[in-house]
Amino acid sequence: MIRVDDTRTVAQRGFFPLLTTRLASVAATGVYFIATAWLLIDQGGNSTEVAGLAIAMTVPSVFAALYGGVLIDRYDRRRIGQIAELTRVGAVVALAVLHSAAPLALWHVYAVTLVLGLGNAVTLPCYGAMLPQVLPRQKLVTGNATWQIATQVGGIAASALGGLLVGGGSVAIGLYTAALCYLVAAVALQLVPGAAAPASPPVAVAAVPGAGVPGVPGVPAGPDMPAVQDGPAAPAGSGWRHDLGVAARSVAANRTHLLVVMFSILPLSVLAASNALLPVFAKEQLGAGPVGFGLLEGAWGGGALLAGMVISRFAGRITDELRLLVHSLVAIAVTMLVFSVIAEMSYSLPASVLLGLAISCSGILFPAYVQARTEPAVLGRVLSGIQFASSIVQLLLLAAIGVGGTFAPAWSMFAAMALATLLSAALLSVLLRRARRAA
């Protein structure tokens, strides 16, 4: 049950339709991934083919995320999101028509997945940048948690529905369902008011102790927040490189902020790699079919839903955000290691809940920190930069999964990723302590 405080958050102007957009978009991608991933496995594919599917979803972010960030900060974010969602509608419908006419070739699936990945490269930072426009700063942690709650409700439904549709042999219906969800996302965006990008990007960045932050009333710059000075809009000829440079200097002005932005790529990367491994893990380790895979995805989503509820309830009690960020990465490592060694579905389901809880807590806390401490005029570029860097890491992880899938079981790759996450948490803890001492 969502608490009263959460209901007030939803009541903020524009938040509910934006929440609906994200829910529908995630549901569409969830149904699409379950349908296509299991289609590949059912046709004799293994972790290499599924990793290829995840790579096709990720590659566009490498080439489009940074350009998308500039567009998000220059133009109406609502229109950009609608164009992306409608493009995905057309691509998924085309794939469904092809599937109904003849057996799908591998390149058909990968080509459409590339289009969906391009949409993700734009919409993920776009919606993240829109969130502070419809919520006050003090509501961002609770808002991100409520966002997670509603998103996971859609994700759980998508997992269950996707498993049932594929289990019944109706891949085409699953694809049409995904297209319908993308259409709902585009329509809901029309109801989001005031979604245009900030008119005047900052032109000067400096770490000024005690200075106020333009555009964020009541928020001092201090040691955790770089001061950004407003100025006239950049000249038209300055180009996207100038815009990216402004965003980069804004982040680099404060070492602690820079570290959090850099390590924000971890939750996204771990989630993408886990999604690629999960269907193979379900078949190899647990001997599950498509319905079992859907249940496993649903349990994962249940943990993510629980994460939103827990953080929403205790957001006001957070006193040391930086320590909590480190602890969230440690929780991912521990729960993933436990999950990797379980070989029975009855135990894997609760373990999947815990893993979803850990990854989602981290996925809520890192973006909320960045959104609250980044100048609104460059937020789209900063979030797109995180998406870009995360995509690079995801591609490396997926390439390792693709190669490792030919000789290593899925559980061992989960275990290796858990150990890497634990080392990353230790590194972040050390670097943050040094940054605090330097400040």
Amino acid of residue 84: A
> What pLDDT is stored for residue 47 in this prediction?
62
What per-residue confidence (pLDDT) applies to 390? 80
Do 148 and 278 have their domain in common?
A: yes
Cα gap 208→228, rounded to integer Å: 9
- For residue 423, what pLDDT band results from cuts at 50, 70 and 90? very high
Pairwise CA distance, residues 167 & 264, whole Å: 36
pLDDT at 216 over 60: no
What six digits make up the tokens of 400? 């390792």
Confidence class of residue 2 from pLDDT cuts 50, 70 and 90? very low
Examine the domain organization and report whether 129 and 159 are in the same domain. yes
Instruction: Report how many domains make up the chain.
Output: 2
Same domain for 169 and 305, yes or no, is yes
Instruction: Give the confidence band of 143 by pLDDT, cuts at 50, 70, 90.
Output: confident
Rounded CA-CA distance 317/369 in Å is: 15
pLDDT for res 208: 35
Number of H helices, E strands in the chain: 15, 2
Task: Reply yes or no on whether the pLDDT at 183 is more than 90.
Answer: yes
Closest CA to 262 of 356, 369, 336: 369
Looking at the predicted structure, is the pLDDT value of residue 210 above 90? no
Give residue-wise pLDDT tens across range 394-415: 778 777 777 776 777 778 888 8
Q: What is the mean pLDDT of the chain?
A: 75
Element of type H or E holding 229: strand 227-229
Which residue type occupies 264?
S
Confidence of residue 236 (pLDDT cuts 50, 70, 90): very low
What is the mean predicted confidence (pLDDT) over 20-45? 80
Same domain, 211 and 109: no
Helix (H) or strand (E) holding 62: helix 47-74
Q: What is the pLDDT of residue 68?
A: 73
Q: Is 421:271 a contact under the CB 8 Å cutoff?
A: no
What's the N-to-C CA distance of the chain in angstroms?
42
Phi, psi of 235 (to 5 degrees): -60, 150
The residue from 239, 254, 269 where one domain ends is: 254
47 or 279, greater pLDDT:
279
Band of pLDDT at residue 7, cut at 50, 70 and 90: very low
Q: Can you give the pLDDT at residue 168?
A: 64
CB 24 within 8 A of CB 185: yes
Nearest C-alpha neighbor of 74 from the set 194, 189, 195, 199: 199
Q: State percent of the chain over pLDDT 90.
A: 6
Length of the chain: 439
Does one domain contain both 250 and 330?
Answer: no
Quickly tell me which residue has 């046709």 as its tokens.
Answer: 43
Residue pointed to by tokens 């930072």: 125
Highest mean pLDDT among 13-22, 46-55, 155-164: 13-22
Range(s) of the domain holding residue 247? 204-254
Judge if 337 and 433 occupy the same domain.
yes
pLDDT at 370: 85
Residues 292 and 170 in one domain: yes
To 5 degrees, how large is the angle CA 109–CA 114–CA 119?
Answer: 125
- Rounded CA separation 166/289 (Å): 10
Whether 84 has a pLDDT exceeding 70, the answer reads yes
Measured in whole angstroms, the distance separating CA 16 from the mean position of its chain's CA atoms is: 19
Extract the tokens encoding 294. Answer: 């859907």
Question: Do 410 and 282 lie in a common domain?
Answer: yes
Instruction: Let me know whether 186 and 246 are in one domain.
Output: no
Do residues 21 and 5 make contact, with C-beta atoms less than 8 angstroms apart?
no
Band (pLDDT 50/70/90 cuts) for residue 86 is very high
Q: What percent of the chain has pLDDT over 70?
A: 79
pLDDT, residue 426, reads: 92
- Residues forming beta bridges with residue 206, ordered by sequence position: 227
Task: Give the separation between CA 22 and CA 297, rounded to whole angstroms.
Answer: 18
Nearest to 338, CA basis, from 326, 325, 355: 355
pLDDT at 430: 92
Centre a 10 Å sphere on the Cβ of residue 266 and count the other Cβ atoms it contains.
24
pLDDT of 14 higher than 50: yes
Residues 237 and 311 both lie in one domain:
no
> Residues 340, 284: contact at Cβ < 8 Å?
no
pLDDT in tens, 343-401: 777 777 888 888 888 888 888 888 888 888 888 778 887 887 887 788 788 778 777 77
Per-residue pLDDT at 89: 93
Q: Are residues 285 and 230 in the same domain?
A: no
Q: Are residues 340 and 371 in the same domain?
A: yes
Q: CA-to-CA distance for 3 and 8, rounded, in angstroms?
A: 9
For position 380, what pLDDT does the model report? 80
Residue 65 belongs to a domain with what CATH number? 1.20.1250.20
